[in-house]
Structure 1
Amino acid sequence: MTGFGLIELMIAMVLGLIVIGAAFAIFISSQNTYRSNEDLSRIQESARIAFELMSRDIRAAGGSACSNFSVVEGSGTVVERFRDEAVRGTTNADGVDSLRVVSGDDAAYRVLASTSGSVTLDPDELDAADDVFDVDDFILLCNARKTHVVQTTGVSGMTVSFATLPGGYNPTSDEYAPPGAVVLARLRDVNWFVGDNGRGGNSLFVSRMGGTPQEVAEGVRELDFEYLQAGSNAYVAAATVADWRNVIAVRMTMTLQGISADGEALTRTASNVVSMRGRTL
């Protein structure tokens, strides 16, 4: 009986090493492809979420639960921002764009009774007014004819109080507006921008009512906004918008960055156009 000689054994070992090496190379290649696809999917998902959240705010800019023909009454910074600059873009000295959007909150609550300085909410919709509203909140009180932006001075039971409306106006006693159409909602004031995330990269952030910025999507390197004005076919930068009341649509262009399978930067750019619902219907 004869066995393997040294030469045959060495040949078998070499062939085995070649097979193992080929299998290892295939494994590494598959792993790199998986990581690359996973990172690309993460970038695309970040873009989808970012566009969806920003689009919701932009569509609602300047809107409320009442008719678009409800006239915004009063004066002051917050009132004028809601009435005249419901959407407004800025570009800082470094060329970084941001977008501020003001609207009524999606959730609005029916008013059963009112005076010129308080409203009583429907208990079928809330257990108590302080479940939603707090003192010093900015709120929208509107019916089919008039909209008021006021700040709460008191919240008790189902009653929300505020400073007396101009002219002692009582929303549920307006003979030209149905009392059943009076609603109350919180004011939504958001600012979208890209900034340093503290981890060596940039992210998309949102600040609500001037509060602490919250990170929404990681890997957003740049975000540019352009604006379409009524009567025009061209989108323009914020600096060339003369009257923000004429803006009817916003185009967002976002550049996202990740790492490819070979360690190089993986960059994708996506755009989305959103019409302002209250100005295009």
Structure 2
Amino acid sequence: MTTRTPPGWYPDPGVPGAERWWDGTAWTAHTRAPGGQVFGPPEPVTAVVVPPARRRGPLMIGAAAALLVAAVAVAVTLRGGDGGGPQPERTGSSAVASGTVDSPSARPTSGPSPDPHTLVDQLNGITLPIPDGWEKTDDAVSGLLTMTTKDTYDCPGDAGFCHRGTVTTSTATMTDLTTAEAVAKNDITGAANAAYDHDPVGSRPYNGLTSHREVKSGPVVVDGRTGYLVRWQVRTAAGPGGYVESLAFPSTVGSQSMVIARFALDAGPDGPSLALIDTVTRGIAPIGGGQNGGVGTSLAPPSR
């Protein structure tokens, strides 16, 4: 059987240092200073908030104790009770005079979950397959469409966490270069620096690059069109180093601007297989599926 808290003035759970009238079933809109003047007649109203915690014994507290009881009442309410006795029943809205409490109906609802196996680049009209063990991430710093390995580790250089692999896509802008080869060759240095030398906020997760060498370059078919790739192996002052690739190819939408896909994979036994780069490249397709065809469809993959 539930025991109700009797009507009376109790410490206001929403306004420390004040008292609010409890009519036996709900809070009213009437408040007063502890033991002082009433700010309105103690008449019940329809708006209801979370009631105070049930207390044992007579109410004989001063102003300082009232503050303590109010804090305890709020904490107990948030936890759903402390097991020390029955709580007054809760009914109606949880609005209080000093503000409102968020309710499930006020929270936004999410739409259908995107395909966890596909990275969609709406701007360039393409999709990329997300390998097992990888996921799409929101890169708030660079703003690039990104997918990374799910597992992370402590960066060997500046404090932070690093991914074993990262892939980003973007549109080549602020350049007069018009061929995939020129765009890829121009981008590879920036791709290497962004992946292994310093991040957008200036941290050096691998204590910087120490050297690089080109291990692969040449034309390649991407989404049925002729693209070009440049791949470097890089060494870093800390950590295993890695492989970085800039892949450029014409978009199939809009003005057919060049698209740049950047790959960065850690070297060493813990790094992803280099074959993953070619797998993702072959899986790039227009949104909606299928292949576009066009110039370059007969090209063979570049040799290592």
TM-score range, shorter chain: under 0.3
Normalization by structure 1: what TM-score?
0.23
Higher relative contact order, structure no. (Cα contacts within 8 Å, ≥ 6 residues apart): 1
**Structure number with higher strand proportion:** 1
Normalization by structure 2: what TM-score?
0.22
**Structure number with higher helix proportion:** 1
Q: Which has the larger radius of gyration?
A: 2
